[in-house]
Amino acid sequence: MELAVMPEDDGSRLDRFLRRQLPHFNQGIIERALRQGDIRVGGRKVKSNHRVVANERITIQDRLIAMSPPSRDKPTAPQALQIDPRLAHDQLEKMEVARTADWIAYNKPAGLAVQGGTATKRHFDGLLGAAFGANRPRLVHRIDKDTSGLVLVARTLASARALTEAFRTHEISKSYIALVTGDTSESGVCDAAVIKAGAAGQEKMIVDEKAGQPAQTRYLRLEKAGRVSLMALQPITGRTHQLRVHMAHLGCPILGDRKYGASPVDGFAKKLHLHAQFMRLPDGTILSAPITDASAAHFATAIEILSWAALIPQQMPRFSVKKKH
């Protein structure tokens, strides 16, 4: 099993990173595995206090995964999933929206995790490994499993470092399209600080102005019909579940987002209606990924039901920065 370190995990202690990714690994298992070389960073043995760096790859021996004992209150470790390279190649080819010598952009379908972890056997990074082998592109950011849309990967180590730094310094901007329930102003900025709370396996982000990390989201309402609104969203920071918790904080949770309090709406699927639509790179290149049956059939169906296809932005929206909440 292999894990990639994302920009938001840069600088974390290795043991804490592993416990977040694999909650069934206690500190004793991690320490012993590191001493024996069953867990390696970039192919080398390190200690538990090693500070991980974005784009590092952490290898965990499959036998260690298999030996990890299940418990009553912790999930069982996933078994390694063997993927047919030809099938992985075909799946990625259908997702691809653009490529250069430095990167490839994909339109990830909803329901496919970007990385492996507890109980996650099939994931986007695994498809990359199966299709490309030793020349696999490197992840430089991630989006939630249930979010569809743009995922950018680097084809070289140099481009991985450059893109990771660009994400870290916010030189890369992104915008999302979402359906939300409830009422909010037509445009504005939510700058509520957020922090992770809850027991292991049940964590969620909450707003906490005192202890939370700074977070900022720009939003623009494109249309409204009854309880449902079409929104364009731009995360200025990149906190976990930021768009989801900010929309819930504004009183308009994303349609289908039961984790953050969205109530079902008759006629619409109980799935997250959130799509990463645009990305602007430092050189001015703008990438786009459409909402399709392949990437998010439930979202495409909702747009058709509402007759809002003509309202989906065809270029990156301009967001107001005047109002704050």
Structure tokens at 282: 């430092």
Q: Which residue's entry shows tokens 């922090």?
A: 195
128, 77 Cβ separation under 8 angstroms: no
Give the C-alpha separation, 125 to 243, whole Å.
23
Kindly write down the DSSP assignment for every residue of 295-321, as one continuous string.
HHHHHHHHHHHHT-GGGS-SSPPP---
Strand partners, 235: 217
- What is the separation, in whole angstroms, between the first and last Cα of the chain? 42
Burial 70-81, CB ≥16 within 10 A → b, else e = eeeebeebbeee
144 catalytic? Reply is: yes
Q: From the candidates 38, 73, 102, 144, which is the catalytic residue?
A: 144
Task: Output the six-digit token pair for 283.
Answer: 């050189």
Compute the distance between CA of residue 274 and CA of residue 254 in angstroms, rounded to an integer.
Answer: 7
Contact call for residues 1 and 59 (beta carbons, < 8 A): yes
Computed on alpha carbons and rounded to an integer, the radius of gyration of the chain in Å comes to 20
**Rounded-to-integer distance, Cα 68 and Cα 77, Å:** 7
The rounded distance, in Å, linking the Cα atoms of 234 and 151 is 16
* Three-state secondary-structure class, residue 44: strand
Place of tokens 């639509």: 277
Element (H, E) at 190: strand 187-190
- Residues designated catalytic: 144
